[in-house]
Amino acid sequence: MENKITAYCRIRKGIVSCNGSLIYTNTEEQDHVQFLNQTYRFLKPEYPKFFKMDPLSKLAFLATHLLLRDRDFGAESHLDTAVILNNSAASVAVDRQYQHSTEDFPAPSLFVYTLPNVMVGEICIRYKIFGENTVFVTEKFAPQQLEKMIHAIDSEGNTSRYIIGYVDEDGYEGDAFLMLVEKNKDGLPFTAEIINNLYLQ
């Protein structure tokens, strides 16, 4: 079977949507982190560790929850699932906070999140994903690179499901666009053009 986009979601500028439908919107004067925390309370994923995460990981976690909340993603290990993300700011927001903390006493809780790969780790821990996973940094959203990465992993023949997309956070606002790509007869064609069109919606 071919790879098809079977679900997609977006969290950006106080709006949360999934498969083109509005899920939640920020109706209060909240900063970015407050909005993420309020979105968590609205979606109720029941994962207390969420509040210890940095904003980038929170954003990725919420977007992944939206993708998978109607799926049977139970307690078993998912060896055939990969997580491939990109962003443009890496973990710069926490990097700045950590650098500031070193002027007094370095904050270990911040240091944990000074790599963008940690957000993928949070997703993999929560959903017991043991397939390929990576984050690559590009100047902007790069659908062509995502498409190439999936085709490259496909050639190994061990992966049947992908969580892919763009998760960026600079300390002031965030942008998450995630897709669930599966070997399926139903869904949207998995092409860079379709991916870009969904991102721009």
Pairing of strands 81-87, 21-25: unpaired
**What is the DSSP code (8-state) at residue 87?**
E
* C-alpha distance across the termini of the chain, in Å: 27
pLDDT at 23 over 90: yes
Query: What is the per-residue pLDDT across 88-108, written as a single tens digit (0 to 9) for each?
Result: 988 767 767 767 777 776 777
Residue 24 vs residue 173, higher pLDDT:
24
For the entire predicted model, the pTM comes to 0.91
pLDDT at 83 over 90: yes
Determine the average pLDDT of the residues in 169-173.
83
Query: Distance of CA 196 to CAs 21, 53, 76, 136, Å?
Result: 18, 29, 33, 17
Query: What is the per-residue pLDDT across 115-169, written as a single tens digit (0 to 9) for each?
Result: 888 999 999 999 999 999 999 999 899 999 999 999 999 988 889 999 999 999 9
pLDDT at 114 over 70: no
Residue 76 vs residue 57, higher pLDDT:
57
Continuous segment of H or E residues that includes residue 124: helix 117-127
Query: What is the per-residue pLDDT across 33-45, written as a single tens digit (0 to 9) for each?
Result: 899 999 999 999 9
CATH of domain 3-200: 3.40.47.10
Domain extents in the chain: 3-200
